[in-house]
Amino acid sequence: MSFTEILDETPRLSFAERQELVRHAIALDDSELTMEENALPDARMEDFRRNPDAGILLEELRAHVTQRLPLQ
């Protein structure tokens, strides 16, 4: 089965089947994070606490991401 066929079939799956599919995909790539990767969320949260107005609105982020990575 090709990747495109899998994507085409996904909407026909039940919610429980889609959850299992996601769990399986995550388990295949279940690698440990590095110390730097583990520290990143804490560092970002600390930056936010120091300067909460430095971020952008979720709508702006979505627009930026969809502009750079349009869905096909």
Supply the range of the domain harboring residue 39.
35-68
Domain annotation covers residue 58: yes
In a domain, residue 19? The reply is: no
Distance from C-alpha of 68 to C-alpha of 34, rounded to nearest angstrom: 28
Does the residue 26 lie in any domain? Answer: no
22 domain residue, yes or no: no
Q: What is the pLDDT along the chain (72 residues), one digit of tens a residue?
A: 899 999 999 999 999 999 999 999 888 887 888 999 999 999 999 999 999 998 889 999 999 999 988 776
Residue 43 lies in a domain: yes
> Are the beta carbons of 10 and 21 closer than 8 angstroms?
yes
Q: What is the pTM of this model?
A: 0.43
Reduced to 3 states, what is the DSSP secondary structure of residue 30? Answer: coil
Do the beta carbons of residue 15 and residue 7 sit within 8 Å? no
Overall domain count for the chain: 1
Evaluate whether residue 18 is within a structural domain. no
Instruction: Judge whether 9 lies within some domain.
Output: no
